[in-house]
Structures are given as structure tokens and as C-alpha cells.
Amino acid sequence: MSLRRRAFVAVLAAHAAIYERSGGLIGHRLIGLPTLLLRTTGAKSGQPRVSALVYAKDGDRWLVVPSNGGARRASAWLHNVRANPRVVVQVGRRRQPAEATVVTRGEPDFDRLWKIADDNNRGQYGRYQQQTDRQIPVVVLTSVAD
């Protein structure tokens, strides 16, 4: 892993820790972009996992993209939501149970959802997609009752 990539990963980890430890008081924005905490269940371990992710909105749903910075391997949290789609989304101080749905290229709504997410992230997801052979999906998080 390059020095630049390691530094980026360290910044993201610190951001997630501050967001979580502050109860959402600090961390809703990272470099001007809205972020949420996605709480998943580990696919293999069954242990709780937390990821801080940039999100966009599609009505009352949240859109997140498992880009992993354009790496060949998908984000670990994608594997977790595929195995256990029931998640908890935290935006600021508000926590909400949700259901994760993975939308892949070729599905009817993919292009529209991708554009919303990519525009929100200033075109970065499109650049990440150009860096990798893997098709990066969009994950839709929909609120559910407790």
C-alpha cells in the first residue's frame, strides 16, 4: 500500500472514531461531504462493525458506494451487508435501523442512483471506477421499523 493510501486510510479511521465516540456530535461532514456511520454485522465473525461513509440522499433513502478508493477489492462492509442486510444508519446523532439493497450496473435504477451518488461526491466515484476492473455498485439504505 502506498504512503498516500495509508495516510488516507488513517484519516478515515480517525474520522470514524471521532464520529462514533462523540455520539455523532462531531463528524457528520468530512471535507465538506456528508457522512454517516454504517453499523453492520461481520459476515464471518458475527461481530458488530462500523464504517464512516460519504452518503447521498434519494428521497428518504441513503445512498452509499463501496468504492474502496478504486481498489481491486471491494470494501469489507459490502461483504457484510450482502450477508446481513439489516443495518443501523447513524446520521449525526440520529440512529435508524435500515435494510441494505445492493444495486449493480445493468439494474433499472443503477444509472440514476450512480449519478446522484457520484455528483454528491464531486465525481470521485467515477474516477474510482476508472481505476478498477471491478464494477462498483450503489448500496441503498432504506429505513425500517425497529
Print the domain residue range for 94: 3-143
User: Which of 16-30, 41-55, 115-129 shows the lowest mean pLDDT across its residues?
Assistant: 16-30
Instruction: Between 34 and 12, name the one with better pLDDT.
Output: 34
How confident is the model over 108-134, as a mean pLDDT? 97
Classify 120 as helix, strand or coil: helix
Q: What is the pLDDT of residue 127?
A: 96
Sign of the alpha-carbon dihedral angle for 110, 40, 12, 96: positive
Q: Using DSSP bridges, classify how beta strands 33-41 and 86-91 pair: parallel, antiparallel or unpaired.
A: antiparallel
Q: Contact 27/1 with Cβ under 8 angstroms? A: no
Distance, in Å, from the CA atom of 50 to the CA atom of 1, rounded to the nearest integer, reads 22
Instruction: Between 20 and 97, name the one with better pLDDT.
Output: 97
Flag whether pLDDT at 35 surpasses 70.
Answer: yes
CATH assignment of the domain containing 107: 2.30.110.10
User: Which of 21-25, 101-105, 133-137, 138-142 shows the lowest mean pLDDT across its residues?
Assistant: 21-25
Could you tell me which of 77, 75, 76, 67 has the C-alpha nearest to residue 131? 67
Distance, in Å, from the CA atom of 135 to the CA atom of 129, rounded to the nearest integer, reads 7
Average pLDDT over the chain, rounded to an integer: 94
Flag whether pLDDT at 146 surpasses 90.
Answer: no
Q: Contact 77/67 with Cβ under 8 angstroms? A: no
pLDDT tens for 51-72 read 999 999 999 999 999 999 898 9
Number of domains in the chain: 1
Q: Contact 15/21 with Cβ under 8 angstroms? A: no
Flag whether pLDDT at 41 surpasses 90.
Answer: yes
Q: What is the pLDDT of residue 1?
A: 65
Q: What is the DSSP code (8-state) at residue 34?
A: E
